[in-house]
Amino acid sequence: MPVIRKIMPTELPLYRAHLLRLDRADRYARFTGTLSDDAVERHCAAIDWGRTTLVGAFLNGELRGAVELCGDRILWPNQAEFGISVEKELQGKGVGSTLVRRVLTVARNRGVRHVHMMCMAGNVRMRALARRFGGRLALDCGEITAQFELPPPNQFSLALEALEDGTGAFNSILAGVSGAHREPIAA
Ligand X SMILES: CC(C)(COP(=O)(O)OP(=O)(O)OC[C@H]1O[C@@H](n2cnc3c(N)ncnc32)[C@H](O)[C@@H]1OP(=O)(O)O)[C@@H](O)C(=O)NCCC(=O)NCCS
Q: Using CB atoms within 10 Å of the CB of residue 102, give its burial: 0 to 12 exposed, 13 to 18 middle, 19+ buried.
A: buried
Which C-beta is closer to ligand X: that of 97 or that of 172? 97
What is the b/e burial string over 31-69, where b = at least 16 CB atoms within 10 angstroms of the residue's CB? Answer: beeebeeeebeebbeebeeebbbbbbbbbeeebbbbbbb
Q: Is 4 near ligand X (CB under 6 A)?
A: no
Q: Which residues pair with 6 in a beta bridge?
A: 55
- Computed on alpha carbons and rounded to an integer, the radius of gyration of the chain in Å comes to 16
28-67: which residues touch ligand X (CB under 6 A)?
29-30
x-or-dash pattern for ligand X, window 97-136, by CB under 6 A? Answer: x---------------------x---xxxx-xx--x----
- Return the number of the residue (91 or 153) whose C-beta is nearest ligand X: 91
Of 85-93, 106-114, 139-147, 166-174: span binding ligand X (CB under 6 A)? 85-93
The overall longest dimension of the chain from CA atoms, in Å, is 49
Instruction: Based on the shown chain and the rule CB under 6 A, indicate whether residue 86 belongs to the binding site for ligand X.
Output: yes
* Residue number of the CB atom closest to ligand X: 96
When the beta carbons of 4 and 150 are compared against ligand X, the nearer one is 4
